[in-house]
Amino acid sequence: MARVVFSDLNSGMSALPELGEWALEAVPADLLQQAVAEQAAPVLLLRSGGDDSAALELLRQLGALAPDMVRIHLCCDSSAKYVAQSGEIAEYSLSAHTDDERILFAIERAVKVRKRLNDPQLQELVRGGAQPPELPPQVVGINELIDQQVPETKTSVASLFRGCPELLKGVMKLLNLPFFGFEKHLFSIDEAVHLVGLRTVRDLTLLVHLDQWAQQPQGWEAFQFEHHTARALETARLAQKIARDALADRITQSAAYMSGLLHDFGMRLLVIADPQRYYRVMEKAVELDQPIYGVEKLEYGTTHADISAWLLSQLGASPRVVRSVLYHHYPKAARDGSFTTLTALHVADALLPSLPNALNCNLGGKLALDYLDRIGLSDKRVRWQSMAEDQGVQLTSYW
């Protein structure tokens, strides 16, 4: 029987949820980290009260201790902002008064994602390549500032980048690309935080960190990694705009942005692992007139989207980001019934121009009209198409 570890950070334990075939094990808060370190359970239920920043930090720490563990946060008497912020860290952030059936549904959906990420063929492929880099301390430090809800107009992150000139240079280079539309050149990372926010600076920092780790192999000319980064930036911006247009909350908009930045990073890892093999995959996709991700599945038993999601999970990215990246080519498989981060990413990737390449292979996505029908947003397609066309012009001129 699968285990669920339950811990209540409030002064006294309230009634434990009943979760059918899942065996619930109550662990005192002061022993929780030790229990997870010794024997991580597939699922953690953490209950806290109010806007407890320590609970958010604990969720991050437990995620680092056991990356494959599903974390579900039950929030009691918490603000809407806090619940949304918790949803950046845990797979699900729910009211502590949520009924047991809903909690069980959340567990089953989250476990399904974990199973996809632990697929044997995916694991065999990623374990055979270079191991992911450690999360840069700048990202860790910015996450701490986000958890503390510091005012973005007054905070400073410059000290976090001290001694890392190449990383800082890379982030500022991205911020000064024409995609951001600033009227003047930015020289200060703190000024950037005031203009775009902590989350965007954090996400760009992670992108630069990964760019520096996974560089274009010598001799690879099928497509340029620099162009790949440009398309990722525009996918991120469009996904964020789509989320805003759908009246999603700020956290969802931020998750859409990060999803767009790294949704196709697995493609680079496949190229780096064996450039000739991936070139043949591209050739076959053109020959068969099939999406690149379909031919990847035939060749590798997995796709660049799966690899991207796995990498993000290893780096401690928000589970909603991991989930949207995992399903962005097959959104119906997520079984959503309304707008989510996945919707924003799927639409943005499908509507923007494909990455230019030597074979004229379509390296982008395909819009799933039946998915938009299912979530009741077909009427938004024309508007989102217009938004994508505007950004597509800017993107193609940059290429």
Q: Provide block-wise average pLDDT over 10 residues at a time, the chain (399 residues).
A: 84 70 86 84 90 91 87 92 89 90 90 91 82 91 87 90 96 92 92 94 97 95 96 97 94 94 96 96 96 96 96 90 97 92 97 95 94 95 95 87
**Residue owning tokens 């949704």:** 263
Please, where in the chain does CATH 3.40.50.2300 lie? 3-118
Using an 8 Å Cβ cutoff, are 211 and 229 in contact?
yes
| CA 343/CA 347 separation, integer angstroms | 6
CB count, 10 Å around CB of 131? 8
The predicted pLDDT at position 124 comes to 87
d(CA 323, CA 151): 29
Q: What is the pLDDT of residue 280?
A: 97
Q: What CATH fold (topology level) applies to the domain 3-118?
A: Rossmann fold (3.40.50)
Using alpha carbons, select from 257, 260, 242 the residue that is nearest to residue 385.
242
Tokens of 141: 């430090």
Are 186 and 220 spatial neighbours (Cβ–Cβ below 8 Å)? no
Domain with CATH 1.10.3210.10 in the chain: 127-398
Calpha distance 320→204 (Å, rounded): 18
Look at the pTM and tell me if it is higher than 0.85. Answer: yes
Cα 301 to Cα 122: distance, rounded to the nearest angstrom:
7
**Dihedral pair phi/psi, residue 235, rounded to 5°:** -65, -40
Crossing angle (nearest 10°) for helices 319-327 and 341-351: 40
Cβ distance 42 to 111 under 8 Å?
A: yes
| pLDDT at 1 (0 to 100) | 59
Q: Which CATH number fits domain 127-398: 2.40.50.140, 1.10.3210.10, 2.40.30.70, 1.10.1530.10?
A: 1.10.3210.10
The pair of three-digit structure tokens given for residue 149, joined into one six-digit string: 């809800």
